[in-house]
Amino acid sequence: MSKKDNITKGKITGIIANLVIVEADGPVQQNEICYIVQQDSKLMSEVIKVLGTTAYIQAFESTRGLKVGDQVEFAGHMLEVNLGPGILSRNYDGLQNDLDRMEGIFLKRGAQTDALDHEKKWTFKPLAQQGDKVIGGDWLGEVTENWLPHKIMVPFKFKGKYTVKSVAGEGDYTIDDTIAVVTDEDGREIELTMVQQWPVKVPIKNYQEKPRPFKMLETGIRTIDTLNPIGEGGTGFIPGPFGSGKTVLQHALSKQAEADMIIMAACGERANEVVEIFTEFPELEDPRTGRKLMERTTIIANTSNMPVAAREASVYTAMTIAEYYRAMGLKILLLADSTSRWAQALREMSNRMEELPGPDAYPMDLTAIISNFYSRAGYVYLNNGKSGSITFIGTVSPAGGNLKEPVTEATKKAARCFYALSQDRADSKRYPAVDPIDSYSKYLEYPELEKYLKENIDENWPAHVQLMKDALLRGREASEQINILGDDGVPVDYHITFWKSEIIDFVILQQDAFDAIDAQSSLERQKYMLEKVIEIYHTGFSFEHFEEVNEFFKRLIDTLRQMNYSEFKSDQFHQYEKELEQIIEERKG
Catalog residues that contact other proteins under the rule CB under 8 A: 13-17, 21, 62-69, 91, 99-100, 102, 104-109, 241-243, 268, 270-272, 274-276, 278-279, 301, 303-306, 308, 341, 344-345, 347-348, 351, 357, 360-362, 397, 399-402
Phi, psi at residue 117, to the nearest 5°? Answer: -85, 120
Min separation Cβ 509 and other proteins, Å? 21
Min separation Cβ 405 and other proteins, Å? 8
Cα–Cα separations (whole angstroms), residue 288 to 255, 296, 424: 10, 12, 33
Nearer to other proteins, 271 or 467 (CB): 271
Residue 117 and residue 175 in contact, taking contact as beta carbons nearer than 8 Å: yes
Min separation Cβ 68 and other proteins, Å? 6
Nearer to other proteins, 189 or 280 (CB): 280
Min separation Cβ 268 and other proteins, Å? 7
Nearest to 419 by CA among 406, 438, 444: 438
Min separation Cβ 294 and other proteins, Å? 12
Task: List the beta strands (DSSP E) in 206-310.
Answer: 235-239, 261-267, 297-302
Min separation Cβ 323 and other proteins, Å? 25
Alpha carbons 41 and 18: distance in angstroms, whole number: 17
Nearer to other proteins, 91 or 226 (CB): 91
Min separation Cβ 128 and other proteins, Å? 37
Nearer to other proteins, 246 or 500 (CB): 246
Nearer to other proteins, 99 or 135 (CB): 99
Nearer to other proteins, 219 or 367 (CB): 367
Nearer to other proteins, 199 or 401 (CB): 401
- H-helix or E-strand spanning residue 390: strand 387-396
Min separation Cβ 247 and other proteins, Å? 9
Min separation Cβ 345 and other proteins, Å? 8
Residue 218 and residue 211 in contact, taking contact as beta carbons nearer than 8 Å: no
Task: List the beta strands (DSSP E) in 240-316.
Answer: 261-267, 297-302
Task: List the beta strands (DSSP E) in 177-220.
Answer: 180-183, 189-192, 196-199
Cα–Cα separations (whole angstroms), residue 336 to 172, 300, 492: 35, 9, 46
- H-helix or E-strand spanning residue 246: helix 246-256
Min separation Cβ 429 and other proteins, Å? 10
3-state SS assignment for residue 391: strand
Phi, psi at residue 532, to the nearest 5°? Answer: -60, -50
Min separation Cβ 99 and other proteins, Å? 4
Please state whether the peptide bond connecting residue 213 to the residue before it is cis, i.e. omega within 30 degrees of 0: no
Nearer to other proteins, 13 or 183 (CB): 13
Alpha carbons 375 and 414: distance in angstroms, whole number: 8
Min separation Cβ 275 and other proteins, Å? 5
Nearest to 179 by CA among 195, 201, 157: 195
CA dihedral of 490, 493, 496, 502, whole degrees rounded to 10 = -60
Residue 287 and residue 520 in contact, taking contact as beta carbons nearer than 8 Å: yes
The string of DSSP letters for 412-467 reads: HHH-SEE--B-HHHHHTT-SS-B-TTT-EEGGGG-HHHHHHHHHHT-TTHHHHHHH
Residue 546 and residue 497 in contact, taking contact as beta carbons nearer than 8 Å: no
Min separation Cβ 517 and other proteins, Å? 18
Alpha carbons 479 and 501: distance in angstroms, whole number: 10
Nearer to other proteins, 70 or 218 (CB): 70
Nearer to other proteins, 343 or 457 (CB): 343
The number of C-alpha atoms within 13 Å of 226 and in the hemisphere containing its C-beta is 31
Q: Around Cβ 359, how many Cβ atoms within 10 Å?
A: 14
Nearer to other proteins, 64 or 538 (CB): 64
Convert 521-555 to b/e letters by CB count within 10 Å (16 or more is b). bbbebbbbbbebbbebbeeebebeebeebbebbee
Give the amino acid at 520: Q
Nearer to other proteins, 9 or 270 (CB): 270
Q: Is 305 exposed, middle or buried (0-12, 13-18, 19+ CB in 10 A)?
A: exposed
Nearer to other proteins, 15 or 75 (CB): 15
Min separation Cβ 314 and other proteins, Å? 12
Nearer to other proteins, 458 or 548 (CB): 548
Min separation Cβ 414 and other proteins, Å? 22
Nearest to 141 by CA among 161, 129, 162, 127: 127
Residue 317 and residue 300 in contact, taking contact as beta carbons nearer than 8 Å: yes
Nearer to other proteins, 217 or 345 (CB): 345
> Which are the contacts of 211, defined by CB distance < 8 A and separation ≥ 6?
379, 381
